[in-house]
């Protein structure tokens, strides 16, 4: 059979109306055109589908079967149309989004939650990567977009980079530490190279970033212990195990539970921002454009 959706709609209009005349009107067709199409449907099926009577039409057993399947097909077609519309509007699908450590743990949860709550059919696959890895993945077309620290330079990767929130790094020190008792208001990274550090686990993007700046001056930071979470770092520092370097927002939040002193780092590389990045706005999927706009992107 070579029935199309318009044939099925016409057939159901006639069946539901019990009349070819009324069914044709419901389908917005002329009576002659509707009658001809119904004859073609029956010829194509090779069986009588409608029994013509003086006061209208009724379905034959074969017609009942066609009507049953026609309803199911049209229902599925409507579901498909609705789903495709969701994809087009950016409310359905799966987004892969790379983020630096701080963005993933501190910034994105509170930003993503209200946006994602209004899109129950959309999934977001968040992955933690270093900023350079994220920029490289975007530039190569592996992913659409991500959020990085401003250590990434547009000239190096030929991608769009837009700052959206401050992410300055600070020293956290035990209250008994000399820098605290001396009342220091700021400190440079070089002054800390002989300190015992509480760090994050190996492979953590932020920890790798700090270690890289130590290596640039020919040193390795002395890690007394590595912790899996920011809170773990703060708790160890509060107990005098060592000092740590964290984003200022993280340090302020956990300082309430784990008393320690926050001292700003004055190094340029510590005055960071989190930045959205993408390659070509016009090539982004509708869901990704929607997400980036929500996060503050201005294409």
Average pLDDT over residues 151-173: 89
Q: Quick check: pTM over 0.75? A: no
Cβ–Cβ under 8 Å, residues 11 and 49: yes
More confident call, 264 vs 56: 264
- Domains in the chain, ordered, with CATH? 5-88 (1.10.10.10), 91-164+275-295 (3.40.190.10), 169-270 (3.40.190.10)
How many percent of the chain have pLDDT more than 90?
66
Q: pLDDT tens for residues 233-267?
A: 999 999 999 999 999 989 999 999 999 999 999 99
Q: Quote the Cα angle for 120-103-93, to 5°.
A: 25
Q: Smallest Cα–Cα separation from 11: which of 79, 54, 60?
A: 60
pLDDT of residue 89: 62
Q: Choose among 99, 94, 255: nearest CA to 164.
A: 99
CA separation, residue 143 to residues 103, 217, 279 (Å): 17, 34, 9
Averaged pLDDT, 218-226 = 95
């Amino acid at each position: 059979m070579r029935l199309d959706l318009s044939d099925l709609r016409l057939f159901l209009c006639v069946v539901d109306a019990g009349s070819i005349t009324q069914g044709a009107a419901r389908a917005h067709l002329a009576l002659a055109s509707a009658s001809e199409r119904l004859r073609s449907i029956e010829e194509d099926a090779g069986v009588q589908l409608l029994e013509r009577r003086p006061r209208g039409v009724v379905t034959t057993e074969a017609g009942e079967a066609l009507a049953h399947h026609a309803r199911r097909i049209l229902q599925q077609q409507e579901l498909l149309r609705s789903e495709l519309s969701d994809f087009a509007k950016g409310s359905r699908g799966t987004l892969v989004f790379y983020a630096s450590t701080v963005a993933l743990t501190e910034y994105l949860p509170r930003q993503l939650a209200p946006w994602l709550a209004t899109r129950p059919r959309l999934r977001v696959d968040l992955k933690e990567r270093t900023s350079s890895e994220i920029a490289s993945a975007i530039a190569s077309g592996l992913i659409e977009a991500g959020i990085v620290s401003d250590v990434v330079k547009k000239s190096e990767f030929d991608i769009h980079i837009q700052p959206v929130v401050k992410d300055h790094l600070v020293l956290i020190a035990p209250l008994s530490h000399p820098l605290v008792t001396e009342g220091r208001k700021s400190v440079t990274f070089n002054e800390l190279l002989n300190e015992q550090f509480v760090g994050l686990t190996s492979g953590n993007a932020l920890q790798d970033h700090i270690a890289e700046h130590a290596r640039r001056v020919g040193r390795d930071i002395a890690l007394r212990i590595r912790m899996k979470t920011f809170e773990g770092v703060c708790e160890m520092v509060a107990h005098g195990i060592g000092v740590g370097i964290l984003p200022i927002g993280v340090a302020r939040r956990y300082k309430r539970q784990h008393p320690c002193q926050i001292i700003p780092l004055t190094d340029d590389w510590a005055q960071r921002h989190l930045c959205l990045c993408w390659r070509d706005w016009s090539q982004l999927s509708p869901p990704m454009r929607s997400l980036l706009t929500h996060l503050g992107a201005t294409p």
